[in-house]
Amino acid sequence: MGAQGSLLGGERQWSQQEVERAIAVFKQKAGAEGCKADFETYKALWEGASGQPSVADICATLEKNKETLMDQMDKEFFKIAMKLVKHGLRYQPRNGQPAAEWREAAIRAGQHFLNIPDGREELANINFARSIPLLTMEDDDDEELEADSFEEDEPQARRKAPEKGKREVEKRRSSLAAKVLYEMSHHSEFLTALCDTSILNFLCVLVNQVPEFSQEVTGTIMNVSRDKRNLHKLMEASVGDVLESVFKTLRCDRPPLGYCMVAWKRDVCALGNCAATLATLIKYGHQCQVETATIVYVFNTTGAHGQDTAPDNLRLLAVVAQLFFWICRESEQIVDCFRMSEDDEDPDEVLAAMGRMWEKCQRLWEMIKPFEDAKGKDAKGKEEQRKAKQIDQKFFTDDLDKAVQILPDSNDAKEKLKHARSLICYMSCTMWLCLPVDTLRWKMRAIKFEQLGLAFEMEERELRAVTVTTAQHLLDLPNTQQCSDLVRFFGEKLLGLFKDYIENVIKTAEIGDERLEESEDYARLLVDSLSILAMSRGMQVEMAKKQDELYENLYILCDKAETLATFKDETKGAKTRYIWSNKAHLKLEMCSVYTLCEIAVHPSQRLPWVMQTWREPPADADSKERAPQEAEWGSEEWKSFLDRQSGFNGRLNDFKEKREGTPFAVVAMLLQATFADVKKPDSTAGHRKKEQQSKYSADVNNEFRATSGILKWWWDNTTARYEEFKEKTDLRPTLKELVKIAIRRRTENTMLRSKPTMPYCCPHECILCLSLLSRLALEPEWKGFFTKKPEYIEQLLRCVCVGIWAEAREAAAVLANLMWLPDIESEHLVCWLKFDGGPNGVAIDSANVLMPVLKTLGTKTPAPVDIGKGMYKSTWGIEFVEGSYIQLHPEGLRNNNVPTLLTSASPLNNFAATSNGHYRWIGSEKANDTSYTIACWFYEPEHPDPSKEKHRVLVTARGFESDKKPRKLIWISWEPEASDNKDGKDGQEPRGNFVWNFRDIQGESIPMVLPKLAQGWHHVAMTVCHDEGKKKKRNGNETIDPGTQLYLDGKCYHSKKRLKSVHADNDFYIIGNFLEGGRADEPFGLIADFRIYAKALTVEEVQAIAEQVDVENHPDKIVRELVKMDAVTILAQRLYVPDCAAESLRALGSLATHGPSRAKIFSVCGMQALRLLHSPFDMIQRLAARLVRNMA
């Protein structure tokens, strides 16, 4: 033995000197002429001389001791050896020597070099892989010799003997080919070559004709499929079809004791290889037909019943579970995946098999959990370590033979733990996919699946990615949004994972830490999932509760990503590289902005922190985080401080400056425009200059003053045009065609998701666009902007019809908001009771601001107008009788505090959360304006009876804050004359006057005597203007007198001087009667078209209302325009996702205030509205009830 010691090679120890001598002998013999001409010499060259290392020994030694020998060995050895291998592979038959034997010897020789990098490189250069299928081909000369060696009358038995030997040779060579290809598939140098059509065809033929080689063949294909770039080649060679057949025919039933276990283990491994390959193909979008019955068979026959003696088969179960997961994940109709056959409609058998498998998974988790808890901890004195030892005997057994124990620290044990975690993860994720499907969810509930969140316990990077992507996929599905508990579950888990990632990786890992370098994709996946999670209004509320923590963590992550994307790592090799890609940094930053923006724009909680240009350090902050008081303004210390403390608005400003023209800038401008009316907090206690405090306050408003630009940008990027963008066509379907598309999508369960649209559209940005537009649509001054161009409304309807669910929700909100205060003349109509639907349509606010309630004391209800007596030549009108009245709002209505009751609709909101809020007008014009107008038509009877001495009360106020006691606000009283016949004795009419009264803000009663009215309809209006001084001018020549004005049939009937400084109270509680002491016995009578405006109308405006003889000029033009465009049918398509259903119901309820449309609304969505009365969401129940009531 040489001085350098013994080197292991094969079963014997060879010294370095012996290996070097063997190489020298090999090179010498290789140069001889005989080795290339004589087969035996060629064969002996590889085997080596007796007592000397063979080529196999040399290669084994080089592999095990490459650090010692590789730099010292003559690399010419590889080149010479490869030339000889190439010669054997391409040998041309001559002198009676068959080429197949040469090829076999050359392949066996080449096999020795597969584990050496230099050897693999040389083998790849000579195209070694392509030569292997030729090994099983017969030589033409061999066939001719075989035919000539027998006479025609030769006995049959003598002929069969060579045939048997021939089959054995073919089998041996096929076995060699299969094993060599399988071994090559473990090395990346050969994967491209193994995708050659001839090799794939050879493998397919081999696995069909020789089942004994199924393990090697399927293993080769499985290894090739791990590179997704090779998958299309596998499908072109019909490998998927072959694997489907093999997967269906292989059996995994464990044979009884005494039978051959080798064949069973081979089939189990081959079955697992098939499942793994098919799962990969399906994962990347390649169509494969896998029978569910085979999957159920595997689940039922591989230890799912939990017998102690049955093998675990965890590897097979894990890959089959993975296969079933991807089948369900990529299926458009997941219910079809639970059918055992095409004729089977019942998923019970598949769910039962899954239930048994999940029980196994739960037992597995209980077994490995102590071991998982003990990982990475000091075992000494730890309870976890003691518990971990208890599972050694039960779990650490051979996967296919429980009689064989394996060491907990062995590779086999690590593989088994890996398969156990994979099985739990994929089974858990598969059951998540079932939960959004009603028919499967309730059956799963009956089976009592428990602990479905175990997938989130798996910490492996691959399994964690599967878990997060599954959660992301489900959150993006419209059907998932029907399950608020499921959405909340995923939200809590994802937020927990994100927090853990920030705390345990981003904050603690230094540059160079593998955890940091390997988590780029995971970070992008997590933040991308959060942005999709934030699309849900329910999760917007939940995430807003953690806004400070979430903002801080996203801020830290983006800063870290920027550092990693700009840090040049020169530690690994000579080539400089960036630790994270710049693309990852931009993606993280963009998704972070998406998340925070979507949280912020929730309509009932628009968060003012969005507009903060800086963040105050906490009181207990380190001195480094505090403002540098001693430094001069503009110094590096100040710049560094302001950069660290930059608030969200400051970051938005950076986006606008540094990334102009990108989606970053678009989102920043949209969000700043949405919150432009929110008062911005103070700056850094005087340290910032004034011009820097409001750096963008002016240009934000200027940029978005032209809102048509936002609408155009939205229309050019909306998901409603996804098909148009994808197909690159200018053909645009009509609204009727879109309705058919929407119905087909819902029927086939193929509704659009945000992720597939992102290459063509901008779903997040479009949601923010529409959120801004929905905010503007509430303002009376902006309604004309939306209605002046019919294409704006049509585009919104298209989005409702076929856009993704979150964008469709915002589009429906825009339409609903346009119908809130529905006038387009900026009249601020806050209450409009048409009384056009008979007794069942009394409490309908056509201004869509309130949800009034008809109250009755006893059995009496308001009486409908008599035939031929209705207002507007129709049935408009209702007669209030004793015991009946309408309550506008539980807290009363004040026109300067308009309730936000119907300004938004989020499923998780309740009545208390929305009814008591007050709408905040953009700007300050309406903040303290208590001017208003009350107008209505009333019917004056032929002979009013004053003998009852009761008032006719039109409006009742809620009362003072001190007592909340109702007070009459507007009423008619009888004032008799001072005469002997004031009560109408002796058949004469009583003498006196009917006096209109109102109560001022001090509580004083102000009477106004009006002339006697003729029988019939009359119009009364009272305007209250709180502007002091002279007449207020508006709209050119139109004027408003200060104080209180009373108009009858368009004419003012009181002394202007007297009422110039008198203001009626701004408090409206009850309409049509007065409630006191549990009695309502002062009904007003027959009225119609009752309106309350949140401003004082001009004389001209009051006269125009009094002169109307039909409904053409009524302030519901927006509603009528939407009805013409069939908005009813379009909105009805969105009643299946709670977020969309809430806003669509709000819009449909507003459309139902249009009398002629009620029948159509009921025919289109009446039954669905009735079903939604039993929704688990209070908001949807309430809005469905409003729709049903308005339809009545």
What percent of the chain is predicted at pLDDT more than 90? 31
Q: Which of 155-164, 195-204, 348-357, 1114-1123 is predicted with the least confidence, judged by mean pLDDT?
A: 155-164
Q: Between 610 and 701, whose confidence is greater? A: 610
Q: Between 483 and 383, whose confidence is greater? A: 483
With a cut of 70, say whether residue 160 has pLDDT above it. no
Q: Which of 926, 929, 949, 1031 is nearest to 995 (CA)?
A: 949
Contacts of 512 (CB under 8 A, 6+ apart): 569, 571
573: helix, strand or coil: coil
Q: How confident is the model at residue 156 (pLDDT cuts 50, 70, 90)?
A: low
Q: Are strands 401-405 and 568-569 parallel, antiparallel or unpaired?
A: unpaired
Q: Between 935 and 45, whose confidence is greater? A: 935
Contacts of 337 (CB under 8 A, 6+ apart): 292, 324, 327, 328, 331, 350
The residues facing 893 across adjacent strands are 1068
Classify residue 171 by burial, with Cβ atoms within 10 Å: 0-12, 13-18, 19+: middle
Q: Which of 649, 801, 652, 662 is nearest to 739 (CA)?
A: 801
What tokens does 845 get? 């606010």
For residue 637, what pLDDT is reported?
A: 58
Q: Between 975 and 328, whose confidence is greater? A: 328
CA distance 219 to 214: 8
What tokens does 548 get? 């400070």
**Tens digits of residue pLDDT in 963-1017:** 678 889 999 888 777 555 555 555 555 667 778 888 888 888 888 887 888 888 9
For residue 141, what pLDDT is reported?
A: 47
Contact 965, 1045 (CB under 8 A): no
For residue 325, what pLDDT is reported?
A: 96
DSSP 428-459: HHHHHHHTTSHHHHHHHHHHT---GGGGGG--
For residue 1018, what pLDDT is reported?
A: 93
With a cut of 70, say whether residue 142 has pLDDT above it. no
For residue 1029, what pLDDT is reported?
A: 44
With a cut of 70, say whether residue 1028 has pLDDT above it. no
Q: Between 66 and 870, whose confidence is greater? A: 870
Across residues 614-623, what is the average pLDDT? 47
With a cut of 70, say whether residue 1091 has pLDDT above it. yes
Q: Between 724 and 149, whose confidence is greater? A: 724
3-state secondary structure 57-73: HHHHHHHHCHHHHCCCC
C-alpha to C-alpha distances, 45 to 20, 26, 52, 109, 977, nearest whole angstrom: 16, 7, 12, 10, 140
With a cut of 90, say whether residue 31 has pLDDT above it. no
**Tens digits of residue pLDDT in 664-692:** 666 676 666 666 543 333 333 333 333 33
With a cut of 70, say whether residue 255 has pLDDT above it. yes
For residue 867, what pLDDT is reported?
A: 79
For residue 681, what pLDDT is reported?
A: 33
What tokens does 360 get? 């196994």
What tokens does 305 get? 């019943």
Contact 800, 738 (CB under 8 A): no
Q: Are strands 577-578 and 1043-1048 parallel, antiparallel or unpaired?
A: unpaired
With a cut of 80, say whether residue 563 has pLDDT above it. yes
For residue 1180, what pLDDT is reported?
A: 93
CA distance 453 to 1157: 48
Q: Which of 1083, 1112, 1116, 1090 is nearest to 933 (CA)?
A: 1090
For residue 488, what pLDDT is reported?
A: 93
Across residues 900-909, what is the average pLDDT? 87
What tokens does 590 get? 């963009």
For residue 1056, what pLDDT is reported?
A: 54
For residue 210, how far is the Cα from the chain centroid? 48
Contact 387, 368 (CB under 8 A): no
For residue 696, what pLDDT is reported?
A: 30
For residue 819, what pLDDT is reported?
A: 94
Neighbours of 913 (CB within 10 A): 16
Contact 30, 45 (CB under 8 A): yes
What is the H or E stretch that residue 405 is in? strand 401-405
With a cut of 60, say whether residue 1170 has pLDDT above it. yes
Q: How confident is the model at residue 1105 (pLDDT cuts 50, 70, 90)?
A: very high
348-374 vs 383-390: helix crossing angle, rounded to 10: 130
Q: Between 608 and 847, whose confidence is greater? A: 847
Q: How confident is the model at residue 699 (pLDDT cuts 50, 70, 90)?
A: very low
For residue 527, what pLDDT is reported?
A: 94
Across residues 111-139, what is the average pLDDT? 83
With a cut of 80, say whether residue 625 has pLDDT above it. no
CA distance 798 to 738: 7
618: helix, strand or coil: coil
**Tens digits of residue pLDDT in 1134-1147:** 999 999 999 999 99
For residue 794, what pLDDT is reported?
A: 94
For residue 10, what pLDDT is reported?
A: 44
Q: What is the pTM of this model?
A: 0.84
With a cut of 50, say whether residue 177 has pLDDT above it. yes
Q: Which of 507-511, 647-651, 833-837, 992-996 is predicted with the least confidence, judged by mean pLDDT?
A: 647-651
Across residues 571-579, what is the average pLDDT? 62
DSSP 740-806: HHHHHHHHHT----HHHHTTT--HHHHHHHHHHHHHHHTSHHHHHHHHSSHHHHHHHHHHHHHS-HH
Q: Between 868 and 286, whose confidence is greater? A: 286
Across residues 116-139, what is the average pLDDT? 82
Q: How confident is the model at residue 610 (pLDDT cuts 50, 70, 90)?
A: low
Q: Which of 643, 625, 634, 618 is nearest to 559 (CA)?
A: 643
